[in-house]
Structure 1
Amino acid sequence: MSFYKLFEFLRDLNRNNNKEWMDNHRKQYHEVRDFYIEWLNQMDIKLAQIDPEYSPTTGKQAINRINNNLLFHPNKPVYKDHFGAGLDKEKGKGDFYIHIGINESFVAGGFYKPEKKKLDSIRAAIDYNGDEFKKILNKKSFKDTFGGLMEEEKLKTSPKGYSQDHEHIELLRNKSFAVMHSLTQKEIMQDDFQDKLIDIYKEMLPFRKYLNHAVTV
């Protein structure tokens, strides 16, 4: 089994996105899923070796369901076009998310559109020590890897309790505090793919630690 087979399965599923097809190809799905779970188990061991504060997360704990939630999103296809998984999982904290899909693949971390309590905590941390956060974001290797924060949605004015002329107002306006690094299918199928992800994990670590500290203190 390989990532080539995983992509092949996802392409077939995307062309036949219905329960009947999935039921007829359940064995193939489980073979691909089991391969990915074992690959995640290997990543879990390697990340635990480089990060003393890493929260062990088995592949079964990490992997997301392939079914879309049609209760809340009835217009979505029955099945996703990707396998998603979150390593370094700990309740209340942001994980290290790996997204392997036919339309896009990436790794990400931080907090994407967090609930109000977490968002308030992150803003309070920036208010208290935004210079440290800016230092992380402005590091050349960090910018080369992630470009910057995902800024899909920002407040047009200042958040409640913060003045318009706050020295960190541009950061405080963010509704998400997450970063992402895009991956190609060619990169994913290389023998050194896990090594590449470890390098990305290391680069993201100070960013994630700052945010996790903010939401837990």
Structure 2
Amino acid sequence: MNFNHLFEFLEELQKNNHKDWMDAHRVRYHNIRDDYLKWLMQLDVELSEIDSDYYPTPKKKILNRINNNLLYHPNKPVYKDHFGAGLDKRPNTSDFYIHIGINESFLGGGFYTPKSPTLKSIREAIDYNGEVLKAILNKPSFKNTFGEMMDDDMLKTSPKGYTQDHEHIDLLRYKSFAVTYDLTQSDVLNKDFKNKIKKVYLEMLPFRRYLNKAVSV
């Protein structure tokens, strides 16, 4: 996979973000997309070799659409500035997300703004054994890799059904349970990129397993 070609395409697309340009470069887009999909499918196989509980991702579900959803976000550009891909996509569990773009690239995982039933299940797990999640989050190698969980739109008070003095109130206030690892363009272009992904995947695995168990019981 030549990621230089991917970045070059995305840069040109953002300068010409309209259907006429995309139609004129449709073959080029499909060639890059297909190359990247093959690369991801190989990564899918390699991740299954290091995780005994890995869920092989169906080919059609790996890559997200490059079109923005203008129905709900009419002011967004027609096309995204990145390629988004999800792996280990077992239904109703967290996935492992790869975001390669011209403005930002990162690896992510967990649940970002989950629906109410999922969030309720995670909070119930924290109420039961939140110390397990805290141990995962506070592990030095985990903190060095991801820092803190994403704290978008955290509650300022306790969620319904929990008191302000709950021993895990700091976790219960989260509305997303997700972490990210930032990538530079140099990281993506490096020949060791796949190994970096696998290292981050393994570091994130206990966190995702805790969440997956929370929503499966």
Q: Give the structure-2-normalised TM-score.
A: 0.99
Q: Secondary structure at the match of 1:143?
A: helix
* Offset from partner CA, 1:66-92 (integer Å, 9 cap, x none): 000011111110000000000000110
Partner of 1:96: 96
Q: Secondary structure at the match of 1:180?
A: strand
Partner of 2:137: 137
Q: Per-residue deviation at 1:58?
A: 4.2
* Offset from partner CA, 1:152-210 (integer Å, 9 cap, x none): 21101000000000000010000000000000000100111000000000000000000
- The code of the aligned residue for 1:65 comes to R
Q: Per-residue deviation at 1:147?
A: 0.3
**Structure 1, unaligned runs of 5 or more:** none
Q: Give the structure-1-normalised TM-score.
A: 0.99
**In the alignment, is residue 69 of structure 1 matched against residue 66 of structure 2?**
no
Partner of 2:187: 187
Q: Which contiguous aligned blocks of 4+ residues in structure 1 show a shift greater than 4 angstroms?
A: none
CA RMSD of aligned residues (A): 0.7
Identity of aligned residues (%): 63
- The code of the aligned residue for 2:74 comes to P
Partner of 1:37: 37
**Structure 2, unaligned runs of 5 or more:** none
In structure 2, what is the Cα distance between the partners aligned to 1:24 and 1:129?
55
- After TM superposition, the structure 1 stretch with the greater mean CA deviation from structure 2, 196-205 or 60-69, is 60-69
In structure 2, what is the Cα distance between the partners aligned to 1:101 and 1:42?
20
Q: Judge conservation of contact 1:62–1:86 (CA < 8 Å) in 2.
A: yes
Q: Give the length in aligned residue pairs.
A: 217
Partner of 1:163: 163
- The code of the aligned residue for 1:39 comes to W
Q: Judge conservation of contact 1:37–1:60 (CA < 8 Å) in 2.
A: no
In structure 1, what is the Cα distance between the partners aligned to 2:161 and 2:42?
45
- The code of the aligned residue for 2:155 comes to L
Q: Secondary structure at the match of 2:129?
A: helix
Q: Per-residue deviation at 1:35?
A: 1.1
